[in-house]
Every structure is written in C-alpha cells, then in structure tokens.
Amino acid sequence: MKLHLAGTAGLNVFTAYGDDFVSVNGQRYSVGLVVLRDRLIAPWGPSSFEEIRAEHMASIAPLGCEIVLLGTGRGQRFPSPAVVRPLIDARIGLEVMNTQAACRTYNILAAEDRKVAAVLVLR
C-alpha cells in the first residue's frame, strides 16, 4: 500500500509498506529499523519479534522520544515486561501493534510534531 501525507517536508515518513518491507521517504527497507522524525537507524538490532531483548529497547531510550510504536511484524504480539523495562524506567510511552499499523500511526503523530519513534521488525 502507498501512503500519502501533506505537509511533511523534511520529516521521515512511511511512503509504502507490504508484508516484508516498509518504505521511508521512498527508500525501501527489508530489515528491522527505527524511524524518528529527523533520523533513521537501519538495520536495527533484532530481525524478528522473537529476537527482541531488553538491550534493544535500552538503545531506544536515549533517542529523545516520548512514545515508541513497536511494530511486531504481520501480527500484534506483546513483549514481556522485562523486555520493555528500559522504556518504562525512562518513562517513555509504548504502543504495540502490527508493523503496518505502526507505520500509519507514526505518520499521523510525526505530522502532529510529536516526539515519536517507530521501532519495527518485519518478521
């Protein structure tokens, strides 16, 4: 699916997604990644939901976001409290959803000038 947003000049936005990829500003990615309004980290740590560990979440905490959208692949899966403890300790909000929903939600929040990070795994 292709996505279109107005008024997002200079921002990282998701422009398309599928079952095994996402596109940010027209660039296609097939690896786990972190997308913030002004920067992108790819590849990012785990390649699948099962590989996400607390140290991966700890790497997100210092990025200056207020909310993390964790995209867990094709389906919504919830990490254990121990995995997300670094975000809880840093008082960063967490929303867990499938990766495609995380892409759509990120675009909306980024356009609203929110301090949001999309943290995505594709499998």
Q: Work out how many domains the chain is built from and give that number.
A: 1
Q: Is residue 90 part of a domain?
A: yes
Domain of residue 25, residue span:
14-121
Q: Is residue 7 part of a domain?
A: no
pTM value? 0.91
Please enumerate in sequence order all residues whose Cβ is within 8 A of that of 50, keeping only pairs 6 or more positions apart, or say none. none
Q: Is residue 8 part of a domain?
A: no
The model's pLDDT over 70-99, given as tens digits with 9 standing for 90+, comes to 999 999 999 999 999 999 999 999 999 999
- pLDDT tens string, the chain, 123 residues long: the values are 554 544 456 899 999 999 899 999 999 999 999 999 999 999 998 989 999 999 999 999 999 999 999 999 999 999 999 999 999 999 999 999 999 999 999 999 999 999 999 999 998
Instruction: Quote the distance between the C-alpha of residue 21 and its chain's center.
Output: 13
Contact assessment for residue 91 and residue 64, using Cβ atoms and an 8 Å cutoff:
no
Contact assessment for residue 40 and residue 11, using Cβ atoms and an 8 Å cutoff:
no
Q: Is residue 108 part of a domain?
A: yes
Q: Is residue 20 part of a domain?
A: yes
How far apart CA 38 and CA 48 sit, in angstroms, is 25
Q: Is residue 2 part of a domain?
A: no
Instruction: Supply the pLDDT for residue 45.
Output: 87
28: CATH: 3.40.1230.10
The 3-state secondary structure of 33-56 reads EEEECCCEECCCCCCCHHHCCHHH
